[in-house]
Structure 1
Amino acid sequence: MLAPSRILKPAVKRAGGGRDRDKLVAKSYEMIAEGSKSFASASRLFDLDTRERVWMLYAWCRRCDDITDGQQLGGALAKQDGPVDRTKAIRVLTRRAIDGEPTADIAFDAFGQVASECRLTMSMADDVIAGFALDAKGWRPRNSAGLARYCFHVAGAVGVMMARVMGVPADDDYTLARACDLGIAFQLANIARDMAEDDAAGRCYIPAEWLAEEDIEPGQLMKPHHRGEASDIARRLALTMDRHLRAAKLGTVHLPFRSRWAILSAANIYGAIGYEVDRLDHKAWDHRVVISRPRKLWLIVQSFFEALWNRPMPPDHMPEWTYADILLEVRMSGDIPPPPMTPLPDED
């Protein structure tokens, strides 16, 4: 008579874990406004529905990153105790969120909400979580392909989800590939800007082959006597970023105007970070490179006319790292178990 199966009813699964959607959106905006001012500025250009969904997706990405690094909204890195367990927790909470179950974490519930609205899958989320798993085990890229794989996991896969949030169909491989290019470009700019911070935290995302080519000894990348070589590496990152950025803009042509304007604004703002690191040469890490508010506004205005013109110039050569090739390598990699290949739901 008192058996739980007779007196307890299973919880009703609801998108967002049953939380009020407006509260999820409000909290998500607080996170993006504090954690990424550049992206927050560009996100205001989306139409209302897309803007709110972008914020909820960002909140999940930010929260996963903070859990992995022991940070608070991208603050100082903390000592990493139990990083593998942290990654497992991220995966469990994400699965619960996608299944419509409450997670007791508003950022994960926000992801559950946007996943339900935009048909984001656990496979897509696993591609991103795999990047946190790489960080958790102290992984470092050996060559350019390894760097491409890392950039895909931590940013390119997010770009693919962003495209879905903006309404890009699941079978539009070309646009999804260009969205991946955009994420990779963003991450390359971040890596170039944060070389000193990463070095101080014991991390290095520069391929070992690149370091060997510059005759940089292990652990010596940011030493004063290697500033010239570090600048050469930053330029290489910036040039690769530029190629991916130009390729990414080709994918904006068929987006709605406001989405196109927002994406071009974000591309131009993040691109300016990479270009500034390159311009500053060996002084690039004396202070953290940021884009001033007046310059951001100017870039947003420029992006408005670029979106109106809607004739992006292709790069001289398309990126060496293609979405299809990276995805194939990811699926075949033995380092991290490939995510389950859950088919995308049919479009309405």
Structure 2
Amino acid sequence: MSGGLPTRDAIVATAGESIARGSKSFAAASRLFDRRTRERAWLLYAWCRACDDIADGQDHGQAKHVVTDAEAEERLEAIRVRTAAALEGRWVGDPAFDALRIVVEETGMPHRLVWDVVEGFALDAAGWRPRSEADLFKYSYHVAGAVGCMMAVVMGVSPHDQQVLDRACDLGLAFQLANIARDIEADDRIGRCYLPEEWLVEMDIPPGEHVKPHFRQRLTVLARRLAKCAACYEDSARGGTLALSFRSAWAVLAAAGIYGAIARKVSSIGDHAWDHRVTIGRIEKLGWIARAWWQALRRKQLYSGTERPAFLWQRPR
């Protein structure tokens, strides 16, 4: 404590506990960073995790109670107020939001990226659902692509380097599309659906009926479409690792492999992908970490000259 306030080390330690509880995959990948980058990644994760938990009435992703429509706006306002205080450089008194204050101060993080992420929580609070594929990517940007850009800044990328930020955004989109494919049934249980309405119409699936057993084969087609999209964004993201240090590239490539494996597993399991939550085991994660070491070592040979496909969604500038 310093003058009654928690020290940076104390807030980092709390953030480390948060990522260990909230995401074993991200926790494993973060260990590959150098110490300074790892701590900042933990600080950023702690804020993202706290916002998600506040918005959804959860504790590190585990449901505590169902958030009513009336509560949703109040919770969103709490996120906005605490985030604004952190961005103003004030102590918030909440370790996760003080973590944001620290990482923004230390990295020169553009405030716009922070508010872009908050906008994702606003979309959920409003019960928003995507009508088109472009809507799906827009939502995925706000809840994950913008976080990818923030992580790039944490790793030392200039906030003005738009080309590298595009690749970082692509990785966030790949992660989110994998999550959506994996969590279709779980999202439906809390009244959410991130499959574009146009996709459901194309497959002749009535609104709210997509998880019914007799539509399972059609749902599998859409999940595989998500996995294919995720793979495109994952491939594009790898081209951005040339701008990173070896250890940061190693961590990014490991995370890409682990999350890409989730999407590929959902696709390969097919109609039974939602019988149990798809996970990646410890041995498989270690395999991706080892493979990513080799990829990071040879990233100039593997990814140099990799063009970002023009058909990929363009993030807002």
Q: TM-score, normalised by structure 1?
A: 0.86
Moved more, 188-197 or 163-172: 163-172
Task: Establish whether residue 231 from structure 1 lines up as the match of residue 220 from structure 2.
Answer: yes
Which has the greater radius of gyration? Answer: 1
Alignment of 1:145-224 (within 5 A): 145-224=134-213
Deviation sequence 1:88-111 (CA, Å, 0-9, x none): 111110111122212121100011
Task: Provide the rounded CA distance (Å) in 1 between the counterparts of 2:191 and 2:19.
Answer: 26
Task: Provide the rounded CA distance (Å) in 2 between the counterparts of 1:210 and 1:315.
Answer: 30
Distance 1:105-1:182 versus aligned 2 partners, 3 A rule: same
Alignment-mate amino acid for residue 129 of structure 2: R
Structure 2 residue aligned with 1:71 = 58
Deviation sequence 1:6-40 (CA, Å, 0-9, x none): xxxxxxxxxxx953010011000100001000010
Which of 311, 318, 322 is residue 309 of structure 2 equivalent to? 318
Confirm or deny: 8 A CA contact 1:148 1:321 kept in the other structure: no
Task: Establish whether residue 286 from structure 1 lines up as the match of residue 275 from structure 2.
Answer: yes
Report how far residue 320 of structure 1 moved: 2.8
Structure 2 residue aligned with 1:30 = 17
Structure 2 residue aligned with 1:54 = 41
Which of 113, 121, 128 is residue 139 of structure 1 equivalent to? 128
Confirm or deny: 8 A CA contact 1:131 1:154 kept in the other structure: yes
Confirm or deny: 8 A CA contact 1:188 1:238 kept in the other structure: yes
Task: Establish whether residue 45 from structure 1 lines up as the match of residue 32 from structure 2.
Answer: yes
Structure 2 residue aligned with 1:102 = 91
Moved more, 116-125 or 73-82: 73-82
Task: Provide the rounded CA distance (Å) in 1 between the counterparts of 2:64 and 2:208.
Answer: 18
Structure 1 residue aligned with 2:258 = 269
Aligned residues: 311
Report how far residue 319 of structure 1 moved: 6.2
Task: Provide the rounded CA distance (Å) in 2 between the counterparts of 1:272 and 1:321.
Answer: 21
Percent of residue pairs bearing the same amino acid type: 51
Moved segments of 4+, more than 2 Å: 311-317, 319-322
Task: Provide the rounded CA distance (Å) in 1 between the counterparts of 2:241 and 2:119.
Answer: 27
Alignment-mate amino acid for residue 320 of structure 1: F
Report how far residue 84 of structure 1 moved: 1.3
Task: Provide the rounded CA distance (Å) in 2 between the counterparts of 1:52 and 1:194.
Answer: 29
Report how far residue 76 of structure 1 moved: 2.2
Instruction: Point out where structure 1 has 5 or more consecutive residues left out of the alignment.
Output: 1-16, 329-348
Report how far residue 254 of structure 1 moved: 2.2
Alignment-mate amino acid for residue 224 of structure 1: P
Task: Provide the rounded CA distance (Å) in 2 between the counterparts of 1:212 and 1:229.
Answer: 11
Partner-residue secondary structure (3-state), 1:210 = helix
Task: Provide the rounded CA distance (Å) in 2 between the counterparts of 1:298 and 1:103.
Answer: 40
Q: Point out the structure with the larger helix share.
A: 2
Partner-residue secondary structure (3-state), 2:241 = coil
Task: Establish whether residue 305 from structure 1 lines up as the match of residue 294 from structure 2.
Answer: yes
Moved more, 75-84 or 280-289: 75-84
Confirm or deny: 8 A CA contact 1:98 1:121 kept in the other structure: no
Report how far residue 218 of structure 1 moved: 0.8
Structure 1 residue aligned with 2:105 = 116
Q: TM-score, normalised by structure 2?
A: 0.95
Report how far residue 326 of structure 1 moved: 3.3
Instruction: Point out where structure 2 has 5 or more consecutive residues left out of the alignment.
Output: none
